[in-house]
Amino acid sequence: MDVLILGGTRHARALAQRMVDDGVDAVTSLAGVTSSRRPLPGATRVGGFGGVDGLVDFLRENQVKALVNATHPFAGSMTTHAASAAAHLGLPLLRLQAPSWRTLPESGEWTWVADHDEAARAAAAVPGTVLLTVGRQPVPHYLPPLADRTVIARCIDAPDGPLPPRWTVLRDKGPFTLESEKPF
């Protein structure tokens, strides 16, 4: 294999298509955390590698020549592992990432937070229905501060465990449009 793409984003999908079009021997890797996956262009593999050591073994065994980290900006562990494994093996590593929303003109009016706990507290301080779009896994961070609030949790897969009575799960998958979000 010439190129391993660490995927899970639309940028990774677009890159995989380019690789297919250009005849590059590339494989896209997915974490396998969501159940409803659209087929990707080209070859894929699914599931964690088992940390940095597992990724190093995979890259070595498959004689990968270059690694592309096209994971989501919030996928911090995979990004760290990719950097460590590439450095260990002396492999070229490309980071493919969408531009930050901070570059948008209206971003100055937004509340910026450091993590999910801070986001949950900030959302709890504002009245009205909360549209929660962080995905399934971080939902536990939002349960205590928003337990008594009306919350629409939009996720690809339903969160684990019981949710407070005023919470509704909306199972849906992006990309989403402004028009589709206005009713919330």
Ligand X SMILES: NC(=O)c1ccc[n+]([C@@H]2O[C@H](COP(=O)([O-])OP(=O)(O)OC[C@H]3O[C@@H](n4cnc5c(N)ncnc54)[C@H](OP(=O)(O)O)[C@@H]3O)[C@@H](O)[C@H]2O)c1
Given the rule CB under 6 A, which residues bind ligand X?
Answer: 6-9, 29-31, 33, 48-51, 54-55, 71-72, 74-78, 81, 135
Q: How far is the CB of 25 from ligand X (least distance, A)?
A: 18
Q: Which residues contact 120 (CB under 8 A, 6 or more apart)?
A: 141, 142, 144, 145, 146
Q: Which residue is nearest to ligand X (CB)?
A: 48
Q: Which is nearer to ligand X, 9 or 130 (CB)?
A: 9
Q: Which is nearer to ligand X, 113 or 150 (CB)?
A: 113
Q: How far is the CB of 63 from ligand X (least distance, A)?
A: 18
Q: Which is nearer to ligand X, 38 or 127 (CB)?
A: 38
Q: How far is the CB of 154 from ligand X (least distance, A)?
A: 13
CA 74/CA 78 separation, integer angstroms: 9
Q: Which residues contact 155 (CB under 8 A, 6 or more apart)?
A: 135, 136, 139, 169, 170, 171, 172
CA 11/CA 69 separation, integer angstroms: 10
Q: Which is nearer to ligand X, 6 or 26 (CB)?
A: 6
Q: Which is nearer to ligand X, 102 or 183 (CB)?
A: 102
Are 78 and 71 in contact by the 8 Å Cβ rule? The answer is: yes
Q: How far is the CB of 72 from ligand X (least distance, A)?
A: 3
Dihedrals phi, psi of 82, to nearest 5 degrees: -60, -40
Of the candidates 2, 30, 65, the residue with the CA atom closest to the CA atom of residue 156 = 30
Q: Which is nearer to ligand X, 49 or 167 (CB)?
A: 49
Q: How far is the CB of 165 from ligand X (least distance, A)?
A: 27
Exposure b/e, 89-109, CB count within 10 A at least 16 = b: eebeeeebeeeeeeeeeeeee
Q: How far is the CB of 105 from ligand X (least distance, A)?
A: 24
Cis peptide bond N-terminal to 41, omega within 30: no
